[in-house]
Amino acid sequence: MQINLTGRTALVTGSTQGIGAAIASGLARAGARVGVNGRSAERVQQAVDRLHSEAPGADLVPVAADVTTEEGARQALDALPPVDILVNNLGIFESADPLEISDEEWRRYFEVNVLAAVRLTRLLLPGMTGRGWGRVQYIASDSAIVTPAEMIHYGMSKTALLAVSRGFAKQAAGTGVTVNSVIAGPTHTRGVEDFVYQLVDRDLPWEEAQRVFMREHRPQSLLQRLIEPEEIANMVVYLSSDHASATTGGALRVDGGYVDSILP
């Protein structure tokens, strides 16, 4: 399958590292102009330089803006031509005692993980529907379905994204714009290796260590290894293309079979 996004402009929020950076790279390799976003201008430029080294000739635009605020969201959009592809990847997470999570933290998780995505969708969707083409995606998590006891506030925010995605898909019905969420499973990102080695023998090579970790601590995974960010990016790039024109209102899983369910 040949995916060509030449002529399309994408914004990937929170794309200086991890899954977001992999998505930005994948979209750029497919020919899209990609806005690489983060709050720090220095970190954004470092990410752009790194992505350029990995994909020479990629059309990357630094977008240093805090999209969790109204001002930052508008600043991000001002840095780009009309956006055709919006990937709401930005998110925060950490473990916490459910009974110790303050009202302020509950609000922060909703504002960063949910409201920021809603705001950008609200700002961009009218232009997409007016042009008769667009792609909006939300990076959710297996935690949206399998709520972790140690991260209820995070799980709540990802469950909310599934509802947001379905609702906006209905708003865009019949316009040529598709709206979907991508459910990512346990992923190999920064810090995960240290976490794994806290639980398994540090003398094991990484490939073996992650398989032991998955077998002993994430046994419900059918993949039995961590997912690489590029594997999630592959789904996002596909959903961003004309090949996925009939896929909308969906929650597509890239979870390695982690969620023990046929649907979504």
Residue 81 and residue 201 in one domain: no
103 in Cβ contact with 214 (< 8 Å):
no
Residue 101 and residue 142 in one domain: yes
CATH code for the domain in which residue 147 is found:
3.40.50.720
Residue 52 and residue 177 in one domain: yes
Specify if 183 maps to a domain: yes
Note if 154 is an active site residue: yes
Of the residues 154, 197, 238, 258, only one is catalytic, namely 154
Specify if 27 maps to a domain: yes
Segment 125-139, tens digit of pLDDT: 999 999 999 999 999
Segment 132-166, tens digit of pLDDT: 999 999 999 999 999 988 899 999 999 999 999 99
Residue 109 and residue 220 in one domain: no
Segment 96-135, tens digit of pLDDT: 999 999 999 999 999 999 999 999 999 999 999 999 999 9
Residue 71 and residue 197 in one domain: no
Residue 18 to residue 29: CA distance in whole angstroms: 17
Count of domains for the chain? 2
E-only strand ranges, the chain: 9-12, 33-38, 60-64, 85-88, 134-141, 177-184, 251-254
Q: What is the mean pLDDT of the chain?
A: 96
Q: Residue 232's pLDDT is what?
A: 98
Residue 181 and residue 200 in one domain: no
Q: Residue 46's pLDDT is what?
A: 98
For residue 210, give its domain range: 190-226
- The reported pTM is 0.95
Residue 159 to residue 219: CA distance in whole angstroms: 22
Provide, rounded to the nearest whole percent, the portion of the chain with pLDDT above 70.
Answer: 100
Specify if 261 maps to a domain: no
User: Where does the pLDDT of residue 64 fall: very low under 50, low under 70, confident under 90, or very high at 90 and above?
Assistant: very high
Specify if 79 maps to a domain: yes
